[in-house]
Amino acid sequence: MSELKRYHYPHDFTLECGVVLPEIEIAYHTYGTPSAENVIWICHALTGNSDPADWWSGLVGEGKLFDTRQHFIVCANVLGSAYGSTNALSVNPATGEPYYQDFPLITIRDIVASLDLLREHLGIRRIKTLVGGSLGGQQALEWAIQQPKLFDQLILIATNARMSPWGVAFNESQRMAIQADQTWQERRPDAGLSGMKAARATALLSYRNPKTYDFTQPREESAIENFRACSYQQYQGDKLAARFNAFAYWTLSKVMDSHDVGRNRGGAMSALNQVKTQTLIIGIQSDVLFPIEEQRFLARYIPQAELTEIDSLYGHDGFLVENELMTKTIRTWELANQFAPREEEELIIRDRVRVDVRKGFSEYIAVENISFVATPSTVHLINGNRIESENNLEKIGQALQELYDFAPLSPRLPHILANTRFVKGFDEATNRMFFADGRTHTLPSFPLPVR
């Protein structure tokens, strides 16, 4: 657990829309002790808060991917949100009353400006990893464009370079639900709350997909009304209403709409090209709100980007739910990053890795069993066996996991694995690996115990 902290910035804060907030407050959490090299900055999504150990508990905590014992983890609540930073319910110093409907238009760039103020306040000069999903990814991307030298690693999950017309339309439909609430123009904290419930229920349709509902809300055989899916939608509206407000929902949906990294920068491609950080992009194939094409677009135009596409029953919300998959994907990428190739190698290796081997390599980590993938259709095992396949590495991985006990693997294995992207050859007789730079490494021979 970590306490909510507050940073008060007592100066004019000029928003992109031209409005000046006379002061702002940023609510934030930190975990761990800072050093020059251990800062991880997490950006939260639409209804998240500044405590990632709360909403991303599968990834943030002791011994987890973002290990609070090793890293200094920072997360700030975004301007306009309901969780402590300046928002529509804050008192407007000019009037002595809450802003309510007068709260101005906020953009991702405004949020990033506030994050950067907090960074300076905390004395952070270098951020090892900047990570965010959805609206969090939009912030992370914008920040990495503005300050390409500040970050070592950038992880963008289920996000995009600019909000699509489809996404804007979803948000507008949700705002229409809020507007239809007769209380919406009233100046009180719970104005528009019923409308927000309908908005959340609508949003759920974009965070999930038909398969999610088939699986989690199956139709009752004999029912002719009051289906499971109905009470689920109602419940989700109520659940958000218990922790959020319509003003914050309205503000942040507009933040999302205005997101376009290409604005006043000659377009998105040119903006993405300004990212100089090693970047991992994770897309969810079943995401209907931030479709996979949007992450492919990011990967195409961010110079040092890797794209991993994952499958999740949960669609867009997969980034909040698929902890194991996220952990494995990010760990794999981080390991490989420790051995960045020289530029001329990069061309050759990346081509091969991207198209063929890389997928296998990722799967290796995911299933913790394949020593390396020599060709797209041949998997070499640590015990010297070999499996031929039609490049269906996932199936092989599953089969292997059922067959072998991988517990006794060498502690040096991660190092070896990280090098596999440079492997040029493997001699099965001697267990020797030949690297692109001429080095060799002999794998320990451990006949793995068969389960």
Ligand X SMILES: CC(=O)SCCNC(=O)CCNC(=O)[C@H](O)C(C)(C)COP(=O)(O)OP(=O)(O)OC[C@H]1O[C@@H](n2cnc3c(N)ncnc32)[C@H](O)[C@@H]1OP(=O)(O)O
Ligand Y SMILES: N[C@@H](CCO)C(=O)O
In the bound state with ligand X, the residue whose beta carbon lies nearer, of 11 and 243, is: 243
Q: Shortest gap between Cβ of 162 and ligand Y (angstroms)?
A: 16
Distances in whole angstroms, Cα of residue 186 to Cα of each of 99, 182, 341: 12, 8, 60
Longest Cα–Cα distance in the chain: 80
Q: What tokens does 361 get? A: 């390599």
In the bound state with ligand X, the residue whose beta carbon lies nearer, of 54 and 116, is: 54
Q: Shortest gap between Cβ of 76 and ligand X (angstroms)?
A: 14
Query: How many angstroms separate the CA atoms of 260 and 271, rounded?
Result: 10
Task: Name which of ligand X, ligand Y, none residue 134 binds, using a CB cut-off of 5 to 8 Å depending on partner kind.
Answer: ligand Y
Task: Name which of ligand X, ligand Y, none residue 160 binds, using a CB cut-off of 5 to 8 Å depending on partner kind.
Answer: none
Query: How many angstroms separate the CA atoms of 223 and 220, rounded?
Result: 6
In the bound state with ligand X, the residue whose beta carbon lies nearer, of 201 and 302, is: 201
What H or E segment, with its residue span, contains residue 367? helix 358-367
Query: How many angstroms separate the CA atoms of 184 and 191, rounded?
Result: 5
287 in contact with ligand X (CB under 6 A): no
Active site residue 427: no
In the bound state with ligand X, the residue whose beta carbon lies nearer, of 29 and 358, is: 29
What amino acid occupies position 9? Y
Interaction residues for ligand X, span 103-162 (CB under 6 A) = none
Q: Is 200 annotated as a binding residue?
A: yes
55 in contact with ligand X (CB under 6 A): yes
321 in contact with ligand X (CB under 6 A): yes
228 in contact with ligand X (CB under 6 A): yes
In the bound state with ligand Y, the residue whose beta carbon lies nearer, of 302 and 320, is: 320
Select which of 50, 287, 312, 362 is catalytic.
Answer: 287
Task: Name which of ligand X, ligand Y, none residue 99 binds, using a CB cut-off of 5 to 8 Å depending on partner kind.
Answer: none
Stretch that binds ligand X, among 58-66, 315-323, 390-398, 407-415 (CB under 6 A): 315-323
Stretch that binds ligand X, among 49-57, 66-74, 162-170, 432-440 (CB under 6 A): 49-57
Give the one residue of 2, 70, 164, 217 binding ligand X; rule: CB under 6 A: 217
Tally of residues, the chain = 451
In the bound state with ligand Y, the residue whose beta carbon lies nearer, of 74 and 78, is: 78
Active site residue 316: yes
Q: In terms of Cα–Cα distance, which of 29, 37, 41 is closest to 1?
A: 29
Runs of H (alpha helix) within 273-342: 292-301, 318-321, 323-337
In the bound state with ligand X, the residue whose beta carbon lies nearer, of 239 and 300, is: 239
Provide DSSP, 184-220: TTSSSTTTTHHHHHHHHHHHHHHHS-HHHHHHHSPPP
Q: Shortest gap between Cβ of 134 and ligand X (angstroms)?
A: 9
Number of residues counted as binding ligand X (CB under 6 A): 15
Answer yes or no: are the C-beta atoms of 302 and 270 closer than 8 Å.
Answer: no
Query: How many angstroms separate the CA atoms of 317 and 443, rounded?
Result: 40
Helices 165-179 and 193-207: angle between axes, nearest 10 degrees: 150
Select which of 50, 85, 114, 134 is catalytic.
Answer: 134
Q: Which residues bind ligand Y (CB under 6 A)?
A: 45-48, 134, 207, 317, 320
Give the chain's radius of gyration (CA, Å): 24
Runs of H (alpha helix) within 32-107: 52-55
Q: How many CA atoms lie within 13 A of 66 on its CB side?
A: 27
Answer yes or no: are the C-beta atoms of 326 and 320 closer than 8 Å.
Answer: no
Q: What tokens does 433 get? A: 């690996």
Select which of 29, 44, 259, 316 is catalytic.
Answer: 316
231 in contact with ligand X (CB under 6 A): yes
Q: How many CA atoms lie within 13 A of 392 on its CB side?
A: 7
7 in contact with ligand X (CB under 6 A): no
Answer yes or no: are the C-beta atoms of 89 and 245 closer than 8 Å.
Answer: yes
Task: Name which of ligand Y, ligand X, none residue 67 binds, using a CB cut-off of 5 to 8 Å depending on partner kind.
Answer: none
Task: Name which of ligand Y, ligand X, none residue 231 binds, using a CB cut-off of 5 to 8 Å depending on partner kind.
Answer: ligand X
215 in contact with ligand X (CB under 6 A): no
In the bound state with ligand X, the residue whose beta carbon lies nearer, of 237 and 360, is: 237
Active site residue 311: no
**Please, what sign has the CA dihedral across residues 444, 446, 447, 451?**
negative
What amino acid occupies position 243? R
Q: Is 317 annotated as a binding residue?
A: yes
Angle at 403 between CA 397 and CA 406, to 5 degrees: 80
Task: Name which of ligand Y, ligand X, none residue 448 binds, using a CB cut-off of 5 to 8 Å depending on partner kind.
Answer: none
Q: Shortest gap between Cβ of 35 and ligand X (angstroms)?
A: 28
320 in contact with ligand X (CB under 6 A): yes
Q: Interface residues with ligand X (CB under 6 A)?
A: 47-49, 54-55, 217, 228, 231-232, 235-236, 239, 317, 320-321
Binding residues for substrate: 200, 317
So which residues are the catalytic ones? 134, 287, 316
Binding residues: 200, 317
